């Protein structure tokens, strides 16, 4: 079964489900009843990130303005496929899967959950912010109130893919402003992928400057290669496509 057929089955699932099985969008094998998007086998294949790696990642972020960091998955080929489908093929229900997978690891002591604002040009093109969708689903599960009005991206930043860590920090500097009441609030800030953490850290910086009490940043995945290989100034090689 080719990819077009897979897409066709997914889109017309309510009509075709009695004649065509719904298939996993990663391996294209039929899904068991009740499963959606990705089969259990593919989902379980995505390597989980352990606490020692998160600690190391946090230590690599200079002048952290956040208090805690949570990362769920390794940016492996299965995750890459899923995030690509979510961002570029409009499979927005994948955000639900990611929201669920993150919710299991989130303590409940937050006043609100928000997401890193998308570049306005990209938001207009795509029509949605995938990180905000993930945050919304997480909010539904955890009951932590979702608020995507507290942060705004006030200038377009160039794509970070080919930039070094230092260039990324410079690229996102003063790119965000706080547009809501955050004083004394404990905030959970969501992004889909974390690499150097420059964007998330800049968001945390403005939120802290506006008086927020505590910031936890949470990302669905991180590419582990760039940290393990000490090639932090050559991120492009670690990232197979633009994130
Ligand atoms: Zn599969």
- Report the separation in Å between the CA atom of 39 and the middle of ligand 1, taken as the mean of its atom positions: 4
- Containing structural domain, residue 18: 1-45
Residue 243, domain member (yes or no): no
Does 89 have pLDDT greater than 60?
Answer: yes
Q: Mean pLDDT for the chain?
A: 83
- In this prediction, residues 66-73 reach a mean pLDDT of 96
Q: What is the CA radius of gyration of the chain?
A: 18
Distance from Cα 14 to the centre of ligand 1, integer Å: 20
Residue with tokens 């077009």: 4
Over residues 203-227, the mean pLDDT reads 92
Same domain, yes or no: 162 and 177: yes
Q: Is there a single domain that holds both residue 24 and residue 99?
A: no
The confidence score (pLDDT) of residue 239 equals: 44
Give the tens place of pLDDT for each residue, 138-167: 999 999 999 999 999 887 766 666 666 666
Kindly state whether residues 20 and 36 are assigned to the same domain: yes
The pLDDT value given to residue 224? 85
CA of 26 to the centre of ligand 1 (A): 5
Q: What is the tens place of the pLDDT at every residue in 22-65? A: 889 899 998 876 667 889 899 999 999 999 999 999 998 989 99
DSSP state of 144: P
Taking the centre of ligand 1 as the mean of its atom positions, its distance from the CA of residue 23, in whole angstroms, is 8
* 87 shares its domain with 14: no
Tokens (6 digits) for 206: 């403005």
- Predicted TM-score (pTM) of the model is 0.83
Residue 238: its pLDDT value, please?
Answer: 41
Burial readout 114-136 (b: 16 or more C-beta within 10 A, e: otherwise): bbbbbbeeeeeeeeebbbbbbbb
Q: How far is CA 68 from CA 22, 39, 57, 65, 224, in A?
A: 39, 31, 11, 9, 19
> In the chain, how many domains are there?
2
Tell me the average pLDDT across 205-219: 97
The answer as to whether 9 is a domain residue is yes
Per residue in 167-211, pLDDT (tens digit) is: 677 777 778 999 999 999 999 999 999 988 989 999 999 999 999
pLDDT at residue number 32: 79
């Amino acid at each position: 079964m080719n990819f077009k057929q897979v897409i066709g089955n997914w889109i017309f699932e309510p009509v075709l489900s009695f004649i065509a099985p719904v298939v996993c969008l990663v391996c294209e094998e039929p899904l068991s009843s009740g499963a959606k998007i990705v089969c259990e086998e593919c989902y379980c294949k995505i390597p989980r990130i352990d606490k020692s790696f998160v600690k190391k990642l946090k230590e690599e972020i200079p002048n952290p303005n956040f208090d805690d960091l949570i990362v769920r998955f390794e940016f492996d080929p299965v995750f890459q496929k899923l995030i690509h489908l979510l961002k570029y093929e409009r499979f927005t229900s994948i955000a639900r899967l990611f929201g669920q997978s993150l919710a299991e690891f989130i303590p409940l002591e937050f006043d609100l959950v928000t997401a890193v604002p998308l570049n306005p040009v990209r938001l207009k093109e795509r029509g949605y912010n995938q990180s905000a969708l993930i945050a919304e689903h997480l909010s539904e599960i955890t009951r932590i109130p979702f608020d995507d009005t507290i942060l705004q991206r006030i200038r377009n930043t160039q794509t970070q893919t080919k930039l070094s860590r230092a260039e990324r920090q410079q690229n996102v500097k003063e790119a965000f402003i706080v547009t809501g009441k955050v004083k004394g609030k404990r905030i959970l800030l969501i992004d889909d992928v974390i690499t150097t953490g420059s964007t998330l850290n800049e968001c945390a910086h403005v939120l802290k400057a506006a008086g927020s009490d505590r910031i936890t940043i949470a990302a669905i995945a991180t590419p582990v290669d760039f940290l393990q290989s000490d090639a932090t100034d050559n991120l492009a090689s670690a990232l197979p496509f633009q994130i």
